[in-house]
Amino acid sequence: MTLATAVAALVVTVSLACSSPTKPVTAPRTYRMGFSHFAPRLTIPDVIATLDRWQPRGDAGILQATPPWKSLLADTSASFLIRREYLQIVQRYRTSGFSVVVMIDATDGLDRAREAPELLDAGRSISEPAIQAMYREFAIAIDTILHPDYLGLAMETNLVRAIAPPPVYAALRTVANSGGSSIAQPF
């Protein structure tokens, strides 16, 4: 190989390495990808790293919001709790151009046959009018402060209906319906 051939080969190799590869044209997705901010450890750096990892792949930010019954029973306002726990995350979702999906979970997320553990520990139930009022206040605060694009007022209702005692399912229906009527927007 002559010096001129070696230099020419080097120039071609370097120019190919520095050029940007062309990406194949792909059809846009016909669905949305949504992710949550839940991190392996609940520290601010881990939550931010989790958001940074899924942000290039996502279209929607998802929040599963269980009413913080212990705090609500201690007379902490739902508005304060929503601002403290979720507002910055939702603002980050929005600045990334994501749709915001919030789902309220009024039962036990790990055992759909039971009510929320914080309520059970306090000897309370979502069948009580006072607890239902707290749920409504929580749902209204989510709607008015976070302005989600989609709001689910109950989770896994078919499973709750199938495995929970009938009074738990009836209470879940009552709180979801009352929450919905409290925040319904006219079209």
pLDDT one-digit tens code per residue, 16-60: 444 445 555 567 778 878 888 778 888 888 888 888 888 888 888
Instruction: In whole angstroms, give the CA distance from residue 3 to residue 17.
Output: 21
Supply the pLDDT for residue 19. 47
CA distances from 33 to 27, 100, 121, 184 (A): 15, 11, 36, 26
Q: Where are the domains of the chain?
A: 32-181
Q: What is the reported pLDDT for 109?
A: 86
Give the model's pLDDT for residue 124. Answer: 95
What is the per-residue pLDDT across 53-99, written as a single tens digit (0 to 9) for each? Answer: 888 888 888 999 999 999 999 999 999 999 999 999 999 999 989 99
Q: How many CB atoms lie within 10 A of CB 25?
A: 5
Give the pLDDT confidence of 122-181 residue by residue, as tens digits.
999 999 999 999 999 999 999 999 999 999 999 998 999 999 999 999 999 998 988 887
The pair of structure tokens assigned to 91 is 């603002």
What are the tokens at 19? Answer: 């050029």
Q: Is 10 helix (H, G, I), strand (E, B) or coil?
A: helix
Structural contact between residues 184 and 136, judged by C-beta atoms closer than 8 angstroms? no
Cβ burial of 73 (10 Å; 0-12, 13-18, 19+) is: middle
The pLDDT of residue 36: 81
